[in-house]
Structure 1
């Protein structure tokens, strides 16, 4: 529920948010067997469905520091400005780092997200393999495509997705090599969608697509079992 809220605009209708909660919990989790049985991230799947069902409501971003309860001023996200190519001024790196920009509730303040990630790693709640590999891959591909790697990392839901969504226990791989492959896939898909697709953001779709591929990734990257005897071939000397 908290992760779904972090993926919604602050001005979203409570009814739409509740509808997303029903999708995440009832459809994505319970209909597939309950906790630990879902094969895609519930919060991100709900966000994708809400984006396609209520596109105008899901892309209405309240301007930073606007505390009015009615007639709130709307603004564009940094990725929206880049995608539309309107020539509007982009926020500074410092503004994006501190959260002084438009976006979902949980994706604007890079400082808070990084501190949360450090806390989770320090408490051994998550492994740093997926977030670090995801962010490094996205930055490298962004640079290769002539984009601004730091802008890509600080804007949109990349930090939120890499730290809090891609590391979900149920929908992410277990062993090290599979985690690396999974995170590289997330990073590549995120930047490709941002660069070539009509949508300015690709984190949600990238993670959900890689969630679906997790069983195949784990099969390909299955570690060698220590102490296991190789099967003898026919005709081998006994």
Structure 2
């Protein structure tokens, strides 16, 4: 361990500090609002794609989360920190995981659960063990399963699929019926990549979400290990365990379907609820990907991203306990 002696010019005092000696202007507020900005293209597309119903859900989810954070901190006599953007981002991510056209009370209840129960009941930002947005979504799914699994064509660009997401069609009718809905496989890939399909508000446009995620990797706000490994695991396993036997699956479809992209880049990379080390992140991401495939192919739900991430959140402390970086000077 090295030490550094710094002379404070104002107090003329010598300050001795231990390593590491890192100085950075990155703050929680800067990270949170940057992540929010990277989601903005997908948000704008969602409003264009689904119509004003999506805008209402997104606005209500974000603003109610901010309001619940301020009220909770006021009651707990803590400093009100809504300006750091964490509550706004949590509410926005929650709303992006909801179907368009849900009643207004749905994002409000979800934001309450995410902020008050999943976040502040555990001590606030930095102390929660579960991703708050996904806890909110999981509670909504358990409370109003019909509302959370009903997609209605609200905008001018979603008539390609009527009343069901691609994963729902695959689960209920099989891969052949899915191809028939889009016309052919190429059109299916194109629609899913660009976002012209049914689904939750913020999960449809793969290209916009990936671009936002790549920017966060470039800024080093998230580690590339988690999204790459999680998405690759889903692709590999769905290809191996295909509907017609081994190695007959469609990995490209499964990598673009559902909430995998937004979950891998913006949920599974949460700094608080994911492991610290690179090796730990790899285990976390591979586990989340495998659980996603297990739920999609075997479970009752067509989608498993939300639950897979929450389940891996449970084992994050265990991963951090046994996967630790080597101490300096030791092998």
Q: Is structure 2 residue 132 aligned with structure 1 residue 36?
A: no
Stretch of structure 1 that moved more, 58-67 or 4-13: 58-67
Q: Give the structure with the larger helix fraction.
A: 2
Q: Cα deviation per residue 1:169-201 (whole Å; 9 max; x = unaligned)?
A: 110111110000000000100001100001100
1:143 pairs, out of 226, 239, 256, with: 239
**Aligned residue number for residue 81 of structure 1:** 169
In the TM superposition, residue 74 of structure 1 has moved relative to its aligned partner by: 5.0
Q: Is structure 2 residue 126 aligned with structure 1 residue 24?
A: no
**Aligned residue number for residue 207 of structure 2:** 111
2:269 pairs, out of 133, 155, 167, with: 167
Task: Point out where structure 1 has 5 or more consecutive residues left out of the alignment.
Answer: 68-72, 230-238
Which aligned runs of 4 or more in structure 1 are off by greater than 2 angstroms? 62-67, 86-91
Larger Rg: 2
In the TM superposition, residue 63 of structure 1 has moved relative to its aligned partner by: 2.7
**Equivalent-residue separation in structure 1 for 2:156 and 2:301 (angstroms):** 26
In the TM superposition, residue 64 of structure 1 has moved relative to its aligned partner by: 6.9
Paired residues of 1:137 and 1:187 also in contact (CA < 8 A): yes
Stretch of structure 1 that moved more, 108-117 or 56-65: 56-65
In the TM superposition, residue 65 of structure 1 has moved relative to its aligned partner by: 3.4
**Equivalent-residue separation in structure 2 for 1:103 and 1:129 (angstroms):** 26
**Aligned residue number for residue 99 of structure 1:** 195
Task: Point out where structure 2 has 5 or more consecutive residues left out of the alignment.
Answer: 1-90, 183-187, 243-248
Paired residues of 1:64 and 1:100 also in contact (CA < 8 A): no
**Equivalent-residue separation in structure 1 for 2:94 and 2:202 (angstroms):** 9
Paired residues of 1:98 and 1:110 also in contact (CA < 8 A): yes
Q: Is structure 2 residue 97 aligned with structure 1 residue 7?
A: yes
**Equivalent-residue separation in structure 2 for 1:152 and 1:58 (angstroms):** 20
TM-score, length of structure 1 as denominator length: 0.90
Q: Give the root-mean-square deviation of aligned CA atoms.
A: 1.8
Question: Number of matched residues?
Answer: 225
**Aligned residue number for residue 222 of structure 2:** 126
TM-score, length of structure 2 as denominator length: 0.65
Q: Is structure 2 residue 145 aligned with structure 1 residue 55?
A: yes
Q: Cα deviation per residue 1:37-58 (whole Å; 9 max; x = unaligned)?
A: 1000000111011011111111
**Equivalent-residue separation in structure 2 for 1:66 and 1:32 (angstroms):** 43
